[in-house]
Amino acid sequence: MTLFRLCIAITCILATCAVLLGALWAQFGQGEFPCPLCIIQRMAMMLAALGPAWLLCRAARGPVDAHDFAQCYACSILAALVGGTVSARQVLLHIAPGDPGYGAPMFGMHLYTWAFVVFVVVVLASAMQMLFLPKRSEAPRVGLGARLSVLLLGAIIAVNAVAVFVESGFHWYLPDNPTSNRLIEELRSEVSEPSAGERESGVEQP
């Protein structure tokens, strides 16, 4: 039973990582720039995955009991509720007839619609886990697979941090409909614009 619970936690993390990798593929493979609401949904998905990741981290350090399970999956439910609200709002923004939606659909639905499905599944899966809490504390053996799944989640979070910084540049917020990587654009314009000293000395720019 202990191994089964650990496998479910690893599966939850890997499933979320797969969705986040799909979003990164849409961003870099298909050249779609994620809007602010898409980025917020990614954040909520990561926070939802932190619940089972926290459970694995606790299990790696000693026995875990019902309180640990409940606390970790409650975190997932809270994050999924926030993410579900954001994705539901984005679905409603594009629900009017004739609205093409934001970005290209994938497997018949837009990414924010898939995100809503993911958040509903997270709430259901977490609630199921909390229905069958262990009666005694368990000391599962956390193997390499569990550690690698947590590391994969960390790597995806780090990649997203860099990607969103490149997209937003030195601005506090992303534009509503981003069409370029602002950091790269700003750096290019810095390089191509002549400095004040060069302009005064009449240095010709290419």
Partner 1 sequence: MDALIFVLILATLMAMWRGKRRLAGLLFAVSLVAVWMLFKHHATDALPINL
User: Contact at 8 Å (CB) between 103 and 139?
Assistant: no
| Residues 172/179, Cβ–Cβ less than 8 Å | no
Radius of gyration of the chain from Cα atoms?
22
Distance between CA atoms of 89 and 36, rounded to whole angstroms?
Answer: 12
Of 124 and 158, CB closest to partner 1: 158
Nearer to partner 1, 107 or 172 (CB): 172
Applying CB under 8 A, which residues contact partner 1?
Answer: 36-37, 39-40, 43-44, 46-47, 50, 53-54, 57-58, 61, 75, 78-79, 82, 85-86, 89, 92-93, 95-96, 99, 150, 153-154, 157-158, 160-162, 164-165, 168, 172-174, 176
Q: How far is the CB of 171 from partner 1 (least distance, A)?
A: 9
Q: How far is the CB of 206 from partner 1 (least distance, A)?
A: 33
Shortest spacing between CB 107 and partner 1, in angstroms: 25
E-state strands within 80-124: none
Closer CB to partner 1, 10 or 37, in the complex: 37
Q: Nearest approach, Cβ of 1 to partner 1 (angstroms)?
A: 23
CB atoms within 10 A of CB 162: 9
CA 32 – CA 165 distance, rounded (Å):
16
